[in-house]
Structure 1
């Protein structure tokens, strides 16, 4: 029976540690891995030498169950007289956190178009006629199609097959029509300088640019917002520039739930820039922020297309 138990413990997926009189009697390979020790160096030695954590040692003394963070892992611990059982729940915790973040991001993705569609419907109910009504209906149709694609293709960032080469100027009219109520409310306008062509999912770029423009309108102090694309050695960068007090820190704002110092009086979830970063990564780009003289710029990049890289190498060869 002793051999069978020993073999079972050796093959167990959970960590097993046996102790007596505060000294380690046995620990299986999983326990040694979770505790980060070598078995031959801790067997017969004081319990604290194997655990290297006073919280775990205290649990061995009093017994019970607990979830603890130890050595970068999330461990569920069950202690009984002479026995310590360990389960690694790190992956499960990370999976739950990723699921919660995805849920928040998806809610953000849906909230923006739905809010715009409600504004258009209210305008139609308020008496839009003729060409203005036709334009509102067309925009409603486009946004309904986008919502349908979001539902069918969730999550958006996992479908590189939706990519195509398109001119950034294609997004201009659609974005201005969608943002028309907010532009009117702020007495603001957008100046476009986007002559470049990129390869990406147009809906993803639209959503990322919409989030940046929405932030600029909410948090910027100037009436003019610039959307500028530029060619760099690495590819194309597209950024939204607005007037305001230059920020001192940008990276933190791209973390989920983080908002700027000027956001206290503005409704929001703090997910807009996090979503921009996720979307940019889907086509191989990066999202960033940088200060300007008298303002700030937030944008994202597009890597060079294969054919462009080939042309660049060809033109750079020595004659």
Structure 2
């Protein structure tokens, strides 16, 4: 019977550690792998030498269950007298966190067009001249189509199937119409210098640019916002530049939930730039930020492929 039990422990998918008098008397292969120890070197040694974690040792001695972060893993452990059972919950935890992040980003991505559509509907209800009413209806139709495409694209992993070659100038009038209330409120305007053509999803670029322009209007101090594109041997780049105090840690701002030091008095979720980076990855590009002489620039890159299956070269933001 004892041999059968040990055979079962050896083949188990969970970690098993048996101890007596504070020393290890058995450890199966999974437990050794999760604890990152060599079995023959920990047998007969103290629990702490095998566990190398005071929280694990405490659970082992006092009993009960716990979730513990150790060895870059998330371990769920259960201790009964003389036995410690170990399950690796790392992948499950990562999947749960990824799902939560996707849900937050999805809510953020829907919030912007819905808010714009509500503004258009309110304008229509208040009464508009015929020409303006027709323009508002056309914008509502475009945003409704975009919402439908967002639903069809779930989950949020953009694939090249939606990409095509298009001129960046195609997005200019659509973005200016959508942002017209915010531009008027701040007496601001956009100066466009975007003569380049890129290969990407127009809806994804539109959403990314909309987020960058929205941030520039919220946090910039000047009235002029510059949208400029350029090209080098590896990529096309597209930047939104606004005046204001130059920032320091741009990379942190692209992490979900992070906001700049000047955002305390501005409503937001801290997901806008995280979404921009995710969208850029969908067409094989990147998103970045950099300080300029009088403010900040946030940009996107678009790879120049010799063919659609070639790998993307390493790129740097324009100087």
2:23 counterpart of 1:32: no
State how far apart, in whole Å, the 2-side matches of 1:100 and 1:89 are.
16
Q: Which residue of 2 aligns with 1:70?
A: 70
Q: Which residue of 1 aligns with 2:174?
A: 174
Q: CA-to-partner distance for each residue in 1:90-128, whole Å, 9 max, x for gaps?
A: 111111110110000000000000000111111111111
Counterparts of 1:20-99 in structure 2, within 5 Å, are 20-99=20-99
State how far apart, in whole Å, the 1-side matches of 2:292 and 2:60 are.
57
State how far apart, in whole Å, the 2-side matches of 1:18 and 1:285 are.
51
Q: Which residue of 2 aligns with 1:108?
A: 108
State how far apart, in whole Å, the 1-side matches of 2:162 and 2:298 are.
25
Q: CA-to-partner distance for each residue in 1:215-239, whole Å, 9 max, x for gaps?
A: 0001001111110000123210001
State how far apart, in whole Å, the 2-side matches of 1:117 and 1:230 are.
32
Q: Which residue of 2 aligns with 1:215?
A: 215
5+ residue gaps, structure 1, are 311-319
RMSD: 1.4
State how far apart, in whole Å, the 2-side matches of 1:238 and 1:156 are.
22
Q: Which residue of 2 aligns with 1:249?
A: 249
SS at match of 1:246: coil
Q: Which residue of 2 aligns with 1:315?
A: none
2:158–2:283 Cα contact (<8 Å) kept: no
Q: Which residue of 2 aligns with 1:140?
A: 140
Q: Which residue of 2 aligns with 1:163?
A: 163
State how far apart, in whole Å, the 1-side matches of 2:160 and 2:230 are.
24
Q: Which residue of 2 aligns with 1:288?
A: 288
State how far apart, in whole Å, the 2-side matches of 1:156 and 1:168 are.
23
Pairwise CA distance, 1:307 = 5.7
SS at match of 1:158: coil
Q: CA-to-partner distance for each residue in 1:262-302, whole Å, 9 max, x for gaps?
A: 11111100000000011111111110011111111001100
SS at match of 1:248: coil
Q: How many residues align?
A: 310
Q: Which residue of 2 aligns with 1:14?
A: 14
State how far apart, in whole Å, the 1-side matches of 2:170 and 2:258 are.
31
Pairwise CA distance, 1:2 = 1.3
Please report the TM-score for the alignment, with normalisation by the length of structure 1: 0.95
Pairwise CA distance, 1:16 = 0.2
1:157–1:204 Cα contact (<8 Å) kept: no
5+ residue gaps, structure 2, are 311-319
1:156–1:204 Cα contact (<8 Å) kept: no
Write out the 4+ residue segments of structure 1 that deviate beyond 4 Å after TM superposition: none
* Worse-superposed segment, 185-194 or 56-65: 56-65
2:192 counterpart of 1:189: no
Relative to structure 1, the CA distance from residue 80 to residue 156 in structure 2 (aligned partners, 3 Å threshold; closer, same or farther) is closer
State how far apart, in whole Å, the 2-side matches of 1:155 and 1:193 are.
33
State how far apart, in whole Å, the 2-side matches of 1:70 and 1:59 are.
14
Q: CA-to-partner distance for each residue in 1:185-233, whole Å, 9 max, x for gaps?
A: 1111111000000000111000000000000001001111110000123
